[in-house]
Structure 1
Amino acid sequence: AMAVETHGVPQLELEAVIGFNGHVFSGLRVHPDREHLIYPLGCTVILKRIKDGKQEFLHGHTNNVSCISVSKSGSYIASGQVNFMGFKATVIIWDYAQRTIYAQLLLHKAKVEALAFSPNDKYLVSLGGQDDGSIVIWNIETKQAICGSPASAHSAGHCLTVQYSNTNDNIFVSAGSGTLRVWELDLPNRKIRPTECNTGKLKRIVKCIEVAEDDQFILCGTTSGDIMKINLKTGLLSDCGPVKTKYSLGVNVIRILKSGNLLVGSGSGTFTLCSKTNFKTLKEVQLEKGVTSIAIRGEGQQFFVGTEAAQMYRFNYVDFKAELISTSHNSAVKDVAITFGTSELFATCSEEDIRLWHIDKPKELLRITVPNMTCNSLDFMADGHSIISAWNDGKIRVFAPESGRLMLVIDNAHRMGVTAIAGTRDCKRIVSGGGEGQVRVWELQPRCHRLLETMKEHKATVACIKIKSDDKECVTASADGACIIWDIVRFVSLQMVIANTLFRTVCYHPEEYQLITSGTDRKVTYWDVYDGSAIRELEGSQSGAINGVHISQDGKHFVTGGDDKLVKVWDYMEGVVTHVGIAHGGSITSTKIFSNNQTLVSTSADGAILRWRFPHPPSSS
């Protein structure tokens, strides 16, 4: 479907990405050139230059990237993806120097679980996910599969990871639940032959494998929180530890340093340097959420650590202190707000937090956290002195954007959570919408507030609120299939438009005589503000709801984003798509054009914030 929709339409240029999929095990890598970090986000593989943060993007996957590997020489990167049940999941081998697709390999069903290159760039081994369960060896030169085999001996086993020998192109290891095997490639007969490792009475589920540089042994990190050392030649267990204090929530990732000591990351966020002899902890740091990646730069004086909180840290071996180098949302971004007038700053919200960003630097300026709550919607007051926010605990919270200080709380603002919010231009009132369908207008006074009116016409969640520039009217879009234009001086409804859809978003055209709406029926509809009639209807998407719409300041273009993961820029008068942006791996939750019209920001359900070059220069009129 994607190919049909984007056919012949120019693509948007992606400028920057805030985001990192910290749930992909060993997804963060350092390229052997020591100059670039490599990591996945959505359908994209990102290359980020360490010295200045400059990003490049490898586009080619059609769904979320699920695993990454980099060849020893650095010539190739391989990445695997997930796909829908019943469909094949692609492995892409990238030519690193050219930043292009070298080969696309299609055999696995539904998901590629893990990838590993042989030491001399001859072969790539790929492991399919749970619905596939097979291991395939690929010849990199011919781009063909040499052979394949079920990953584990019996159907109950489920393989989770593969790792190649460091010296021999014909030997690799696989492990998981109920399976731990050393494989040998018999090239003349095009077969891979497994040898089961013997761990005696020790029954463990292996999450990760690390092979010693000289191939003498392998280390297996387990869900039980210990590490098994196995002789690679004999397949016998030679050691297991730490004996007393196991790693809580399992060992997610292990790296062996030149000294032989280990770096170990656990599911509970402990990151340690531990001794090669008895696995005893030498140094320890506690990070936010589970450690999922450890990437060593060069000889190991420096390393990078990625976590499930979508954070990246840099460590120096000597002082072993965590330096936070990048942060991003690790759950769905719900909304974006732009500061009025200037467009340097913007804010995003998600579960637990609001974050403030500078448009030119993808670095978090401020984080406001409300534990165990979800922020559904937010807005900057026009004077820039406050951020108003709507929360699922039924409260409206007002914060100072410089310090993050809580300035005001309106308790019990809505019965089933506050779902939408907007502030008037004069900064004296807030209009809020709730899960129960009520629309409420609040007056702000110094250090207090009062409820002016409750308007009860909507029958379901209020999804979006926009206030007219004169502060006398507003429009609310609801999941009940109605958009209502309200007089917020006399508190009566002036007009209602109805469609067979769950409305997700509504926008005034800058001249304010028309509205555009969209929602689950995939249509973008233009409405006349005065008589509520539908003027025009566009087919906004071929698959899935449209969740975000925003119109440029000159009214000539608008942008949409939704469940089809495509950002689309439209000509308002012509009603045609001028540009399409492909990079999101999750449903797009919101889209905004910045008022200088040079920038477009889109956010998605996987926590990503993407910045695109807006393709139409602003008109002088």
Structure 2
Amino acid sequence: MPPITSDFTHLELETIIGFGGAVPQGLLKHSDGHMVYSLGSTVVIESSGEGKKSQDFLQGHTNTVSCLAVSKSGKFIASGQVTHMGFQADIIIWDFENRKLLHRLTLHKVKVQALAFSPNDKYLASLGGEDDNSVIVWDLAKGAAICGSPAGKDSAGVTLSLAYLNNDDNIFVTGGHSTLRVWELNLTQRKVRATDCQTGQIKRIVKCITVDSDDEFMYCGTTTGDLLQVNLRTKLFKVSGPPKEKDLFSMGVLSAALYKDDNMIVVGCGDGTIAALKLPKLNILRTVKVSGSVTSIAVYDDNSFVAGTAYSNIYHVTKKDFKATLKSTCHYSAINDICFPPNSSEVFATASDTDIRIWNAMTATELLRIAVPNLECNCITFKKDGSSLISGWNDGKIRAFGPQSGRLQYEIHDAHKRGVTALAVTDPFNQRGDFRIVSGGGDGQVRVWKVTKQIQILEDAMKEHKGTVTCIKIRKNNLECVSSSSDGSCIVWDLTRYVRNQVLFAPSFFKAVAYFPDESQLLTSGTDRKVAYWEAFDGSLIRELEASQSDTINGLDITADGRFFVIGGSDKLVKMYRYEEGDVVFVGVGHSTDITKVKISPDHRCVVSVSAEGAVFSWKFPDI
């Protein structure tokens, strides 16, 4: 993400819908009831009380957060990130109470794999990723490194996990590919010394480690699907569980948490199983299955815990009856499109690689999910009266669903050969409520469909584009539309004679096009990093803005009064421009992958941006 050097005012982030479920042990419980997790390059602190959840955002990373830790006292949060090959990856220490950055620690290369605070908040141990493979101990008061060491022997593989003991500031443990080590810090000599644990003939890849409250044993989850119990005093392997081989957990044990009072350990597995095991024999007591690999488990209180999965779901599980309740959910793959119903800002819909979801814009909760197995939804739009959600899919079909029931209303087969990539709908043109759908596809065609209550008829197909149609907008009088394409052209079509009225050319893959509210001008954006103003009457270029220094502009939207427009793209920034002056007035920083679409809500209360990481960001529309 490029640094913001100018004096722009930052857009205020209201809510985030999303959770970085792929981060190992990435969902943490803070001592005062807050939940801490990451989404892209942002660390989110969420509190839920009196029916409303509030979020605070810690922003300082330049790339995706790869690991998180919360100190035992709750004073500090530490987050580490991934960066590009050859660059150093930062660790940031945050002050929890003031939500401020305290220290930025930079020594690891490419990736920070894991972090752990010492029990009395004196030190932070950090583990580098595969390209770095080193352990460093940091002094929290000074924000400086004390000492470091290679994480494993040359004969061992990559080290993946790290945990501090609960009662000793000088001892921590690491585990990974055929390696399990206990480390002791010698502060006077500024050295850290490792002792390998003896596991005999057992060769395992350790994915997670948790230490019991007395620092007597550590429990290591492995990719083989068993849990190893290792004595920390003798450094000897004691027992592995579950006792019966047929009970081994499928796809490995990825996360674990201990309940000290009940002699019980809870583990999360790659196949979505959450299981409680009785100590010390590691017999299975209870299990429950959830959706997605369980990448993190955090003890919530004496009677329950929370689990985060790779499908970006967060579950609340009661300890007594082991019942899993879905607490929050979001997309876990790229979002392709977003739309609001006409004249309504209370809900919006998003389309992704896996499904369509409808969200409550006020509470950021999911209202409806529509999935067609093994198919990807490329584009969505609401019918003008909001009674239908029309979607275009990669199998070439247009499908319409009820926005409340999710029931399939109708589908148009073979709408486009290479998938439906853009959609727009007209107002009803008769008393029966018949309307037209204008669709664009990967085949470069723009097709017009007449939709009645009984049937859907192809009225005409207009073939001039040589590349994928990326966006379609219809004029208010429904007599004309404009389509943008990846072939470097935008065409204005006559919807009564089905011929071309105007064509606009630029050395760019056009990604988005929009009419100015009075429809005298057009605005386009694309891979040439420019936003261009065009005369709608004769297709002449009026002006161009160099809107992005580095990358493609994928999303574009204009306010209803035409004073402002918003863009978002592969530079990961949401920018708000004044239309007449052509200058940036607000910038939103927070996404860590390409922004795919931006939309201004019809009531101008917020700007919603969606990205390739599956995140939905809602920004407060400035009072201007």
Give the TM-score normalised by structure 1.
0.97
Residue 600 of structure 2 is aligned with which of 589, 593, 598?
593
- CA displacement 1:308-356 (0-9 Å, x = unmatched): 1111111222222111111100111111011101221110010121111
- CA displacement 1:12-64 (0-9 Å, x = unmatched): 0001111101000111111011x211100111111111323111111111111
Partners of 1:14 and 1:336 in 2: CA distance: 18
Partners of 1:218 and 1:156 in 2: CA distance: 20
- Structure 1 segment 226-245 matched on structure 2, within 5 A: 226-242=226-242, 243-244=244-245, 245=247
Q: 316-325 vs 61-70, which deviates more? A: 316-325
Residue 271 of structure 1 is aligned with which of 257, 271, 274?
274
Q: Which residue of 2 aligns with 1:379?
A: 381
Which secondary structure state, in structure 2, belongs to the residue aligned with residue 248 of structure 1?
A: coil
The Cα shift of 1:83 comes to 1.0
8 Å contact kept, 2:333–2:354:
no
Whether 1:47 and 2:50 are equivalent positions in the alignment is no
Partners of 2:86 and 2:623 in 1: CA distance: 41
Q: 314-323 vs 542-551, which deviates more? A: 314-323
- Structure 1 segment 546-585 matched on structure 2, within 5 A: 546-585=553-592
Q: Which residue of 2 aligns with 1:27?
A: 26
Residue 293 of structure 1 is aligned with which of 266, 280, 296?
296
Partners of 1:364 and 1:386 in 2: CA distance: 18
Partners of 1:131 and 1:533 in 2: CA distance: 52
Partners of 1:283 and 1:544 in 2: CA distance: 51
Residue 397 of structure 1 is aligned with which of 376, 396, 399?
399
Whether 1:221 and 2:221 are equivalent positions in the alignment is yes
Q: Which residue of 2 aligns with 1:507?
A: 514
Partners of 2:155 and 2:513 in 1: CA distance: 51
Partners of 2:127 and 2:447 in 1: CA distance: 54
Residue 318 of structure 1 is aligned with which of 300, 317, 320?
320
- CA displacement 1:387-432 (0-9 Å, x = unmatched): 1001011111000101010001111111111111111122611111
Whether 1:93 and 2:60 are equivalent positions in the alignment is no
Residue 437 of structure 2 is aligned with which of 423, 430, 443?
430
Partners of 2:86 and 2:472 in 1: CA distance: 41
- CA displacement 1:113-167 (0-9 Å, x = unmatched): 1000001100000111111111110000111100111111116510111100111
Q: Which residue of 2 aligns with 1:186?
A: 186
Which secondary structure state, in structure 2, belongs to the residue aligned with residue 295 of structure 1?
A: strand
Say what the alpha-carbon RMSD is for the aligned residues. 1.1
Matched letter for residue 42 of structure 1: G
Gaps of 5+ in 1: none
Partners of 2:559 and 2:412 in 1: CA distance: 32
Give the TM-score normalised by structure 2.
0.97
Q: Which residue of 1 aligns with 2:7?
A: 8
Partners of 1:19 and 1:209 in 2: CA distance: 26
8 Å contact kept, 1:408–1:447:
no
Matched letter for residue 72 of structure 1: K
Partners of 2:207 and 2:98 in 1: CA distance: 33
Partners of 1:30 and 1:69 in 2: CA distance: 10
The Cα shift of 1:6 comes to 4.5
Which secondary structure state, in structure 2, belongs to the residue aligned with residue 54 of structure 1?
A: strand
Partners of 1:155 and 1:599 in 2: CA distance: 55
8 Å contact kept, 1:331–1:350:
yes
The Cα shift of 1:253 comes to 0.4
8 Å contact kept, 1:485–1:496:
yes
8 Å contact kept, 1:182–1:194:
yes
8 Å contact kept, 1:181–1:196:
yes
- Structure 1 segment 109-508 matched on structure 2, within 5 A: 109-154=109-154, 157-242=157-242, 243-244=244-245, 245-258=247-260, 259-298=262-301, 300-426=302-428, 428-508=435-515
The number of residue pairs the alignment matches comes to 614
The Cα shift of 1:522 comes to 0.7
8 Å contact kept, 1:6–1:580:
no
- Structure 1 segment 597-612 matched on structure 2, within 5 A: 597-612=604-619
Partners of 1:495 and 1:152 in 2: CA distance: 66
The Cα shift of 1:286 comes to 0.7
8 Å contact kept, 1:597–1:616:
no
Whether 1:104 and 2:104 are equivalent positions in the alignment is yes
- CA displacement 1:258-281 (0-9 Å, x = unmatched): 212111100110111121133222
